[in-house]
Structure formats: structure tokens, C-alpha cells
Structure 1
């Protein structure tokens, strides 16, 4: 994975007011921590950071004024729920040669046997890989799978240098038969009487209430 270059600035202002001022300037507040060091509070360029974090597990090369440089991975990204704008980023410090645990997206390739439905149980896989050699994705072949086949985590071929960091028996994908029209109609028919009974009961309650009110009015 190629390093993404970002120019960062140290910051000494904290709190909601400072964060709002940073974001108004099209920048993003961030904090860098790890390896037992004190947290370093930073300001990142807004547009460049937004583009960089479109890539999962983006390896960031941070260049600070004064010549300091750091390698970092995004640990947590906080976004505005409405605008999706990045509000804050937690970064974890990494060094070359170090192995880290990351969630890597899975890409299913190939064509299963006819009349076979694929059920994706997982879209990502947890692996341990060198911080400077994290794969962008992990390819999983589904070529020729038939009904009843399964793919477990232990069966996924990992990129060279990567190790599995999850339960080997974890289900990744299963193959099943499509539901037949007869089975679908039977399921709909089974649920239909319940809906009709519920409607009938509702109508009965309404009629009973109306009659009771009318009788009451007549007595008065």
C-alpha cells in the first residue's frame, strides 16, 4: 500500500469552539497516539484528508513543520451524520516493519454453479499484516460453488506476509438454492390468514364500540 502524503500542523487549542474554527477553515482536528508516546494534537488539511480516507486502512505519511514526520493509520473517523463531513480523526502511530491488525475488505470473484445463491456472511476479514504492506482487498474465489458449499476464514488465501487474526471457523460465505415459487406461495399463504384475522378482529371491535355508544346515547 502506497503512503499518502499529508501536511499536518500541531495545535494547542482544544474544545468545541476551537474545533469549529478549525473546520470553518476547511481543516480537520486530529490526535496521533501510540507506542507509549504522549498524544500529539494535529490539524489536517480538509480536502486532502477526505480523499485519503476514502481508502480503507490508508497509510498516512504526516509531515509537520520543523521536519517531524510520522506514519499513521486511521483508528477512528467521526463524521457529521447529515453532511458526512469529517469532524475528527484518531490516528495510531506505526513504524515500518511493525505488524498491525486491520479489517480488510473481501472481494468475491468468479461465477457459482447455476441455480446457486451466494450468501455473504462477512464483507471484511481481520488480518495481521505489516503496516507498510496492508492489502487493499482480499480476493475470494467463488468459481463453481454449488448448493451446500461454504467458505470459512481458514480457507481464504491471504496475501503474502499476512496472517489470519480471527476464528478460523468463522463463516465467510455459503451457497444455497433459490427459493421455489411453490415455497414462496406457501409462505405467503401461511401468513395471509393471520393478517385477515387481525383485520376481522379490528372491524368487530369498531362495530361493538359503535353499538355501545349508540345504546348509551339512546338511554340518555
Structure 2
């Protein structure tokens, strides 16, 4: 997949008031840092940024146009408003081609339990990996196909693409197949009470 490009403009005013004005103007405040350089405060076009994140995932690498110069950056942290669902702020990390980075990648649980069935629980939504900055997987798969209760899938069981290594503990619980809960059998007193209510 090609690296998406995004034009930026310098952010000269800081503070909550300035940030609100920038968002009303259709921009997202951002800070770019890394590789020993001074942090740069930027404004990114909101609609274009949201489109990139939808298409490339939360660990998108973006080719930024800063004053006419190209700079690769990884979306390190995306702050989204809790109720209004718009991007409030983005932290960007300078990266270089061939460089490896440590990121959290979403986990998707796939498959069906075995014939005995069971209650499937996803215990972790992400795991931490190290990967080439230009080849970060959008998500990883935890398979529960054919598992019988009680069974666990750990981070060490997740199949990783070539060149990707696990950073999270291998025994981190990712998903589990548990015995499905059944309705408890009524006690003798409860059964007698039900009979009495029915008679009344």
C-alpha cells in the first residue's frame, strides 16, 4: 500500500482557545517529534487525516509536506473526543525507511469454537509488537477455530507476519473459550414455592 501524503501548515498559536479555533477551521492540532529534533507544532486537515486513519489504521505512516519538504511520520497517538467522535489532537513520530518501531496493534478474534461450543471472551484488544515502520500490520488475528472449553489463546499463539516480533509477554491472555453458563437448577424450597404459586 502506498504511503499517503498530507499537506501541513505551521501552528503558531497554542492553548485551548487556539485549538478550538483551529478545529472550527477544519484542522487538527498536531505535534511532530523524534530523532532528537525539536518538536514541531502543526495543523493537519481534518477530513484528509480522518480518511487516512480509516484506510490505513491507527498506526498509519504519513508522508507530511512541511514547508515543501517531505517527512515520514507515524501516528503515535490519536486523541478522539469522548462523545462527539472527532479528532482533537495527534502526536506524530518521525520515522525513516527501514527503521523498526514498537507499536500496539489491534487484535481480531476469528473462528468458531468446537462442537461443544462455549462462551468466547476477548481479553485483550491489542498486543505490542516490533515491526518495520513501513510494514506495520493493521491488525493481527487470534484464532479460536475448533477450540473446546476451557481453552486460552495467548499473545504467543498469535501468528505474526514475517519480520514482526512480539514485544508483549508471550503468556498475555488474548482470548478464551469458556463453558457457557446454564440456568441454575432450583432448590427444593424454590420448587415447592413455585408449585404453591401455581396452585394459587
Q: Give TM-score, length-normalised by structure 1.
A: 0.77
- Contact 1:2/1:59 (8 A) holds in 2: no
Is the 8 Å Cα contact of residues 73 and 91 (structure 1) preserved in structure 2?
A: yes
Deviation at 1:48, TM superposition (A): 0.7
Aligned length: 185
C-alpha displacement of 1:172: 1.3
- Give deviations 1:161-216, integer Å, cap 9, x for gaps: 10000111111122211112236x67xx8xxxxxxxxxxxxxxxxxxxxxxxxxxx
Kept in 1, the 8 Å contact 2:130–2:164? The answer is yes
1:10 is matched with which residue?
10
Residue correspondence of structure 1 range 64-213 to structure 2 within 5 A: 64-65=66-67, 67-114=68-115, 115-182=117-184
CA distance in 2, matches of 1:141, 1:87: 34
Please give the secondary structure, in 2, of the residue aligned with 1:52.
helix
- Structure 2 counterpart SS, 1:181: coil
Question: In the TM superposition, what is the alpha-carbon distance from 1:85 to its structure 2 partner?
Answer: 2.0
Unaligned runs of 5+ in 2: 191-200
Structure showing greater Rg:
1
Which runs of 5 or more residues in structure 1 are unaligned? Answer: 190-220
- Distance in 1 (CA, whole Å) between partners of 2:159 and 2:49 is 32
Instruction: Give the root-mean-square deviation of aligned CA atoms.
Output: 1.9
> Aligned to 2:184, what secondary structure does the other structure show?
helix
Moved more, 73-82 or 139-148: 73-82
Q: 1:18 deviation in Å?
A: 2.6
Task: Identify, as 1 or 2, the structure richer in helix.
Answer: 1
TM-score by structure 2 length? 0.84
